[in-house]
Structure 1
Amino acid sequence: MSTLSVRSRRDPLFAEFDALVRSTIAPAARERLDFTPAAESVRDGDDVVLRMDLPGIDPGEVSVEVVTGRLVVSGERVDQRADGDATSTISEVRYGAFKRSFGLPSHLGPDAVSAAYDRGVLSIRVAGVYAGTEPTRITVADGAGSTE
């Protein structure tokens, strides 16, 4: 246990100061500390599957939209800790709103997108991203016998 956490539990003056700092700075800091969830995309045949880590987020608080050729994922992780919780000294968990945006190929619309949420991971499938993108070999003609 760190000296800081021991002191905050024993010293009422420190706890009062800490509460004052949290009440004045926390609202502004909370806006800055909104988070960006980790994401990865993988190819699955002609489709792309985008996965985003959203642990602790109610799936009803997540929005997946197609807006002018972009896939937009937004939501919020709500801080459900009790107000005035004197036992919490360190938190590495980010709370607040998030918004991620990913470009979509021009030939795809909202019908190509489906989403599912399972155990804290949002999976978004974008169907047909790679359809028709396989390379085609072009034969190169021998120009030695051609006439101009």
Structure 2
Amino acid sequence: MENLFRRSGIDVPEPVRRFLQGETDTWLRVEEYRDGTTLVVRTDIPGIDPDKDIDITVTDDALHIAARRSEPAHKDQPGYRSEVRYGEYSRSVPLPRGANPDTVEASYIDGVLEIRAQLPEQSGTSTTKVHVSRGGTQSPEAPENFVT
């Protein structure tokens, strides 16, 4: 599609070009993993000021990330061409049960936002046996342990 615009000499506004090329995503792509008892969520957001352009909140057992990347001042200069996405982006990541929102920490290094949340220590998987009560009478042909 980009080559078509370039060959035809059509000056297509940036938002329209991005839409036609399928760049309509406004959500952040993340990777998440557990490092011991810590949930780690990472996303690439280069070219922003983390003090002004990132908002991180924890509500309803979910981590909410919002980021903004503003277009540069030189965008109106002759010959300007950009393949960088600008605008507002967001993502909500569910936190595992028992995660303490007060332990969430974030860092921004070399364009990568990393968020860490402490998880409760789990002592393996626990199994609880559930008793099945009989709701009616047992049929004569059913085995003794068969629940009807």
Q: Determine if the TM-score, normalized by the shorter chain, exceeds 0.5.
A: yes
Return 55-64 or 35-44, whichever deviates more.
35-44
Contact 1:34/1:94 (8 A) holds in 2? no
Specify the code of the residue in structure 2 equivalent to 1:73: I
> Could you say which structure has the greater relative contact order, defined with CA pairs below 8 angstroms and 6 or more residues apart?
1
CA apart distance, 1:77: 0.8
Query: SS in structure 2 opposite 1:117?
Result: strand
Gaps of 5+ in 1: 9-13, 139-148
CA apart distance, 1:83: 4.1
CA apart distance, 1:67: 1.6
**1:93 and 1:24 mapped to 2: Cα distance?**
12
CA apart distance, 1:87: 0.7
% of aligned pairs identical? Answer: 33
| Equivalence for 1:119 | 110
Instruction: Name which of 55, 62, 72 aligns with 2:54.
Output: 62
For these two proteins, the number of residue pairs brought into alignment is 122
**1:57 and 1:120 mapped to 2: Cα distance?**
8
Instruction: Name which of 69, 78, 83 aligns with 1:77.
Output: 69
**1:128 and 1:4 mapped to 2: Cα distance?**
50
Change (3 A) 1:33 1:82: farther
Contact 1:54/1:121 (8 A) holds in 2? yes
TM-score of the pair, normalised by structure 1: 0.66
Change (3 A) 1:43 1:84: same
Contact 1:66/1:109 (8 A) holds in 2? no
Instruction: Name which of 86, 105, 111 aligns with 2:96.
Output: 105
Gaps of 5+ in 2: 129-148
TM-score of the pair, normalised by structure 2: 0.66
Contact 1:63/1:75 (8 A) holds in 2? yes
**2:66 and 2:26 mapped to 1: Cα distance?**
11
RMSD: 3.2
Change (3 A) 1:96 1:34: farther
**1:74 and 1:133 mapped to 2: Cα distance?**
34
Specify the code of the residue in structure 2 equivalent to 1:135: T
CA apart distance, 1:24: 9.4
Relative to its length, the structure with more helix (as a share) is 1
CA apart distance, 1:136: 5.0
